[in-house]
Amino acid sequence: MSELESTAGPVRVLVWGENRHEQLQPEVAKIYPEGMHNTIRQGIEENLGHKAKVTTATLDDPEHGLTEEVLSATDVLVWWGHAAHAEVADEVVERVHAHVLAGMGLLVLHSGHWSKIFGKLMGTSCTLRWRSERDREIVWTVDPTHPIAQGVPHPFIIPEQEMYGEFFDIPAPDELVFLSSFSGGEVFRSGCTFKRGFGKIFFFSPGDQDYPVYHHKDVRRVIANGVEWARTERPERTSPVLLRYETEDFYNGHGYKGAMQN
Amino acid sequence: MSELESTAGPVRVLVWGENRHEQLQPEVAKIYPEGMHNTIRQGIEENLGHKAKVTTATLDDPEHGLTEEVLSATDVLVWWGHAAHAEVADEVVERVHAHVLAGMGLLVLHSGHWSKIFGKLMGTSCTLRWRSERDREIVWTVDPTHPIAQGVPHPFIIPEQEMYGEFFDIPAPDELVFLSSFSGGEVFRSGCTFKRGFGKIFFFSPGDQDYPVYHHKDVRRVIANGVEWARTERPERTSPVLLRYETEDFYNGHGYKGAMQN
Amino acid sequence: MSELESTAGPVRVLVWGENRHEQLQPEVAKIYPEGMHNTIRQGIEENLGHKAKVTTATLDDPEHGLTEEVLSATDVLVWWGHAAHAEVADEVVERVHAHVLAGMGLLVLHSGHWSKIFGKLMGTSCTLRWRSERDREIVWTVDPTHPIAQGVPHPFIIPEQEMYGEFFDIPAPDELVFLSSFSGGEVFRSGCTFKRGFGKIFFFSPGDQDYPVYHHKDVRRVIANGVEWARTERPERTSPVLLRYETEDFYNGHGYKGAMQN
Amino acid sequence: MSELESTAGPVRVLVWGENRHEQLQPEVAKIYPEGMHNTIRQGIEENLGHKAKVTTATLDDPEHGLTEEVLSATDVLVWWGHAAHAEVADEVVERVHAHVLAGMGLLVLHSGHWSKIFGKLMGTSCTLRWRSERDREIVWTVDPTHPIAQGVPHPFIIPEQEMYGEFFDIPAPDELVFLSSFSGGEVFRSGCTFKRGFGKIFFFSPGDQDYPVYHHKDVRRVIANGVEWARTERPERTSPVLLRYETEDFYNGHGYKGAMQN
């Protein structure tokens, strides 16, 4: 009797933070004294315990802390950026993109909607409407059996938060997990999943440098759920390929030697 | 530090088989001497081991073996029927339907496409084209990160099988996991997931009384994967409800007392 | 040179109204003196002009005005009901269901979410949360290229309306066109499309007997857009069928003579 | 009484062809003596007549014939490329991408699956399996009410064609219209729709330089249907934007002055 193997060991999570607001704005540093990436990391550890091994990296690390070696050892990358999207090197974006298509999970948080990596994966402008005026955000579950929605009340309430509103220019998500309303009357598709290549992506909009959202119990739980969900189900990390297959040979594709390589 | 609780204990699976062909047709009994339901059960046990507790029930059991008590103790119901769909009591179909909406998982296999319960959950005719002439079926994965697709080759091949072809009158599935081709040239959406209410449904078309498909290693693995996937993520079994909520009271809905109850 | 034929002639629309509140409640009759069905009819005529031929029927007509003859001459049925869902005869529901699967378009408005026909097509409980306390409803477009969303502002605002909120127990819609927020903070998937069989279905939640919503310019435009969208693209009205096809004969299916007919 | 305006005038179609095989390979020139782009153009004209105004452009035109002026006057762009994807200037790809997000329709044909523009819009590798060995391709409709599927038999058969097979690395399409099987046993999602920004995209795989597929009556009809479908429903061509909105001012967004512009 053989049993289904499950993906072995704790999920290896890398929380990437831009880490600029915390350095430049005392009011942000007050909310996130160890940096937003560390607060996010703690929220994941708090919920996943020994089931996760969480590290961090920031924009100002060499290669933004996102070397080939680091990414190869990462199951799920969590991305927070805002003021310095343009400073992320294109070469690193290409590298992260290749890893996502090959099976690395990706969580994109809040203002990461306008990061290079999210735009590259979505193919759209990822624009939206916004206002930072201490709106109350109410987060509603519309996919109650989804693993990402477990363990949080329906709805959960964020007392003060930046407003993100529709139209949000993304592809129709594979799964719509959460919808948010704001006290000003706007709505937003605040929890969306996508698959791209062999990678799983979760976009979750709550979270901002000006509000203590990453200290919010339910937000932390959702991010931890998202990390568990985004780990790929495939045992190996390989890229989708273009191969020629002989008739009746379904398994041994031959490397393409066509015009694209020239 | 608190950790995410996972759904505790082995998944409780009930394999329901019509069990008529095996009684009436010696050629079927030869392929499935213990009944198709037992062959399906063994395939799940072989793959899930101690992670599942599998029992069986058949059409000719009292209430078809699908009492309120039995369903309440079932996490995932696996359904195979063909010649006697019409003999399944409407009352039992209502009961199974209510349990699916409240969170019981459901796997519908092959000719179960035309069962009362599948039609009731889909809302469509569930018709298709067919031919039982020993076509070769090739099953291709189109959602390679899906948990149901793990552990089987891409593609996997069923040497002889009944042909099921498009147009298959179902709602567009939430996820399309497998596509099949047949040696006669037909195609079929052979692995489809749906969510209805709080329940998860997986339709998987390979399998027939006239071919030894439920002895096929990869088919057995997919069914076992489907069982694991279909277990609901919600901790309790409750039904969706229609309730009135006061302004600013998001959590204490009041029982509806409207026209529908009269 | 041949050109693509378009579906000829005006769309034949039947607006079905329960027509009970208007008879029993003076405050409703004041808002809808000719009955809600006639107000809805006028909104469609106002927008579609000679492109539509609109008639009405009500619950108290013989066979609810939904005879085989009437349905056969209807391209799109618009459904409003609320207090008397249970009085709609099952036989008529079966008839409407068969016509939808065979290609008749269907618009389900507001409290029609709990009609027998909508539940039968969805396969779910179609429950939701609600409150009739003069909330402001704001309707946001999340699919801006959809034909149903053309010609209305983003967002459009309904000053006073019944609140419908999530979780709304429906299958994930094929297309999510509108999201609504309410002044109490709730959100709702207020414009959803579904295909079932050969029929197209549009659910649109704004509209209630206690508020003058069907006099609202933008609501009228959306309903008219929905009518145009829901007309089937297929030239004939036929039902999906289950047929056997010989190998290499892709076009001449043979009538099924199996167990279901016995 | 006002009536719904329809998008005025004939659809302005631009067929873009790489036009290299036809110049370099006599066997291709024999099948497509006027160039593949002209055969595709003729197929659209044959089906749409006065409802379309079709022009062509090729890789070796200045700016590949895809200037800002040309794209601004194009409702739907049809793209065929194969051997020289890499020669398409990145600047032109950016321009086409911006027009698609702003509302220009796009049809991507066959080997265009690996074009820069399709990859940029999808965000994935768009790889697949292939073999050019005169397989018979059978194209099955799985969305029978879709406008793109009207007027062609179910199935339609292409006697000889290059095989394209799964896994095709694309995002799950918004709508799956066609599935193909090949005589070698492979399957392919051969007709897929996507929305990106305000633009509509149809990918259709039949068609190759080595086979006379663009002379095939049903293939021509599908492409013409696709052209009609891909025309945007929005009256103007504008890009999605990121704007700040004051509380209670839903309509007058203010230009973003944030970090991204620095």
Q: 3-state SS of chain C?
A: CCCCCCCCCCEEEEEEECCCHHHHCHHHHHHCCCCHHHHHHHHHHHHHHHHEEEEEEECCCHHHHCCHHHHHCCCEEEEECCCCHHHCCHHHHHHHHHHHHCCCEEEEEHHHHHCHHHHHHHCCCCCCEEEEEEEEEEEEECCCCCHHHCCCCCCEEEEEEEEEECCCCCCCCCEEEEEEEECCCCEEEEEEEEEECCEEEEEECCCCCCCCHHHCHHHHHHHHHHHHHHCCCCCCCCCCCCEECCCCCCCCCEECCCHHHC
- In this prediction, the answer to ipTM > 0.85 reads yes
- Give C158 to chain D, closest Cα distance, Å: 14
**pLDDT tier for residue B262 given thresholds of 50, 70 and 90:** very low
A94-148 pLDDT, tens digit each: 999 999 999 999 999 999 999 999 999 999 999 999 999 999 999 999 999 999 9
Chain-chain contact of B198 with A145 (C-beta, under 8 angstroms): yes
pLDDT for residue D258: 54
> Could you report the per-residue pLDDT of B84-110, keeping only the tens digit for each?
999 999 999 999 999 999 999 999 999
Q: Is the pLDDT of residue A262 over 60?
A: no
Q: What is the mean pLDDT of residues A149-167?
A: 97
**From B46, B147, B200, residue closest to A233, measured CB to CB:** B147
Q: How many CB atoms lie within 10 A of CB B189?
A: 24
What pLDDT sits at residue B15? 98
Residue D235's pLDDT band, with cuts at 50, 70 and 90, is confident
**Record: contact C85-B260, CB cut-off 8 A:** yes
* Cβ proximity of B58 and B38 under 8 Å: no
Q: Considering only the beta carbons, identify the residue of C145, C174, C232 that sits closest to D232.
A: C145
Tell me the three state secondary structure of residue D68. Answer: helix
Q: How close does chain B come to A6, measured CA to CA in Å?
A: 10
**Tokens for A106?**
């990706």
Mean pLDDT of chain A: 94
Q: Do B140 and D168 touch (CB under 8 A)?
A: no
Across A42-51, B100-109, B245-254, C76-85, least confident range: B245-254
Helix C217-230 vs helix C36-48: crossing angle, to nearest 10: 70
What is the chain A residue with the closest CA to D187? A250
Q: What mean pLDDT is predicted for residues A8-15?
A: 94
The Cα-based distances of C212 to B66, C87, D44, D206 in angstroms read 48, 25, 47, 52
Q: Percentage of chain A surpassing pLDDT 70?
A: 94
To the nearest whole number, what is the mean pLDDT of chain D? 94
Contacts of C259 (CB under 8 A, 6+ apart): B82, B83, B84, B85, B86
Percent of chain B beyond pLDDT 70?
A: 95
Strand D52-58 versus strand B199-204 pairing type? unpaired
Report how far residue C163's alpha carbon sits from residue C136's, in angstroms, rounded to the nearest whole number: 8
* pLDDT-above-70 percentage for chain C: 95
- Cα of C138 to nearest chain D Cα, Å: 10
Phi/psi for A151 (5° steps) reads 85, 10
Give all chains having 3 or more CB-to-CB distances under 8 Å with chain B.
A, C, D
The Cα of B109 is separated from the nearest Cα of chain D by a number of Å equal to 20
Q: Could you give the CA distance from residue B80 to residue B100 in angstroms, rounded to a whole number?
A: 16
D-chain residues near C48 (CB < 8 A):
3-4
How confident is the model at residue C255, as a pLDDT? 78
Instruction: Indicate if the pLDDT at residue D100 is higher than 70.
Output: yes
Q: What is the pLDDT of residue A235?
A: 86
Cis amide bond preceding A153, omega within 30: no
- Does position D3 have pLDDT exceeding 80, yes or no? no
Tens digit of pLDDT for each residue in A204-237?
Answer: 999 999 999 999 999 999 999 999 999 998 988 9
Determine the residue of chain B that is closest to D174 in CA distance: B172
Could D181 and B185 be called an inter-chain contact, meaning their C-beta atoms sit closer than 8 Å?
Answer: yes
Which chain A residues touch D169 with a CB distance below 8 Å?
Answer: 101, 197, 240
Tens of pLDDT, residue by residue over C24-52, are: 999 999 999 999 999 999 999 999 999 99
- Residue D7: predicted pLDDT: 59
- Is the Cβ pair B244, C124 closer than 8 Å? no
Mean pLDDT within B106-121: 98
Chain A: list its partners (3+ Cβ pairs within 8 Å).
B, C, D
SS3 B20: coil
Flag whether pLDDT at C98 surpasses 60: yes
Query: In angstroms, what CA-CA distances link B43 with B147, B217, B251?
Result: 17, 8, 43
> Quick one: pLDDT at residue B235?
87
Question: For B151-205, how does the pLDDT look when each residue is reduced to its tens digit (9 = 90+)?
Answer: 999 999 999 999 999 999 999 999 999 999 999 999 999 999 999 999 999 999 9
Kindly identify which residue of chain A lies nearest to residue D128, measuring between CA atoms. A242
User: Which chain C residues touch B135 with a CB distance below 8 Å?
Assistant: 247
Q: Give the chains touching C; criterion: ≥3 Cβ pairs < 8 Å.
A: A, B, D
Phi and psi angles of residue A257, each rounded to the nearest 5 degrees, phi first:
-125, 50
Q: Is the pLDDT reported for residue A1 higher than 70?
A: no
Given a cut of 60, whether residue A51 has pLDDT beyond it is: yes
pLDDT of D259 over the 80 cut: no
Task: Tell me which chain A residues have a C-beta less than 8 angstroms from the C-beta of D167.
Answer: 240
Contacts of A149 (CB under 8 A, 6+ apart): A141, A143, A177, A178, A191, A222, A225, B233
Least Cα separation, residue B95 to chain C (angstroms): 13
- For the C11-255 domain, the top CATH level (class) is alpha beta
Residues of chain B found within 8 Å of residue A2, distances taken between Cβ atoms: 46-47, 49
Q: Do A233 and B2 touch (CB under 8 A)?
A: no
Distance of alpha carbon D262 from alpha carbon D258, whole angstroms:
7
Residue C257 burial (CB < 10 Å; 0-12/13-18/19+)?
A: exposed
Q: Which residues of C touch B184 (CB under 8 A)?
A: 247-248
Say whether pLDDT at D1 is over 90. Answer: no
Question: Could you tell me the two tokens for D29?
Answer: 């020139």
> What per-residue confidence (pLDDT) applies to A95?
98
- Interface check B24 vs C, CB under 8 A: no
What does the alpha-carbon distance between residue B123 and residue C125 come to, in Å, rounded to a whole number?
Answer: 12
Q: Hey, what are A219's tokens?
A: 């937000």
Q: Which of B138, B224, B250 sits opposite A4 (nearest CB)?
A: B224
Query: Would you say D104 and D232 are in contact if contact means Cβ atoms under 8 Å apart?
Result: yes
- pLDDT (average), residues D103-118: 98
- Cβ under 8 Å to B: A residues 25-54: 45-51
Q: Pick from B53, B150, B195 the residue to mutate for testing the A interface (most A CBs within 10 Å).
A: B150
pLDDT tier for residue C90 given thresholds of 50, 70 and 90: very high
- Please name the helix (run of DSSP H) or strand (run of DSSP E) that holds residue A159, with its range, or none: strand A156-165
* CA-based nearest distance A88→chain B, Å: 28
Asked if D199 and C150 come within 8 Å (Cβ–Cβ), the reply is no
Q: Which two tokens stand for residue D53?
A: 């105004």
pLDDT at residue B7 in the model: 59
C151 — pLDDT class (breaks 50, 70, 90)? very high
CA contacts within 13 A on the Cβ side of D182: 29
**pLDDT over 90 (residue B148):** yes
The secondary structure element, H or E, covering residue A3 is none
List chain D residues with CB under 8 Å of B189: 142, 179
Interchain CB contacts (distance < 8 Å): A and C: 63
Residues in chain B within 8 Å Cβ distance of C131: 244-247
So what's the pLDDT on residue D239?
A: 92
Residues in chain B closer than 8 A to C128 (CB atoms): 242
Instruction: Extract the tokens encoding A172.
Output: 């129709």
Min Cα–Cα distance to chain B from A46, Å: 5
Q: Which of residues 163-202 of D touch A (CB under 8 A)?
A: 163, 165, 167, 169, 171-172, 174, 184-186, 194-197
> Would you tell me which residues 219-248 of chain A have a C-beta closer than 8 angstroms to some C-beta of chain D?
239-248
Rounded distance between C-alpha atoms, residue B182 and residue B165, angstroms: 8
Does the pLDDT value for residue C261 go beyond 60? no
Helix axes D217-230 and D36-48, enclosed angle (nearest 10): 70
The pLDDT score that the predictor gives to residue B112 is 98
Task: For the full predicted model, state whether its pTM sits above 0.90.
Answer: yes
Mutation for A interface: D117, D198, D245, D251, most A CBs within 10 A: D245
Domain boundaries, chain D: 11-255
Across all residues in chain B, what is the average pLDDT? 94
Is the pLDDT reported for residue D170 higher than 50? yes
Which of D140, D143, D175 shows the shortest C-beta gap to B187? D140
CA distance A111 to chain D (A): 11
pLDDT of residue A257: 60
Q: Scanning every residue of chain A, which has its alpha carbon at the shortest distance from the alpha carbon of B46?
A: A1
Residues of A in contact with C175 (CB under 8 A): 172
pLDDT surpassing 80 at residue A261: no
Residues of A in contact with B48 (CB under 8 A): 3-4
pLDDT at B1 over 80: no
Q: Which of D86, D129, D194 sits opposite A243 (nearest CB)?
A: D129
Question: Which residues numbered 94-133 in A keep a CB inside 8 Å of some CB on D?
Answer: 101, 114, 120-125, 127-131, 133
A144 to chain B: which residues are within 8 Å by CB? 198, 234
CA–CA separation, A100 vs C214, rounded Å?
48
- Is there a contact between A127 and D244 if contact means CB atoms under 8 Å apart? no
Per-residue pLDDT, averaged over D144-148, amounts to 97
Count of Cβ atoms closer than 10 Å to residue B161 Cβ: 29
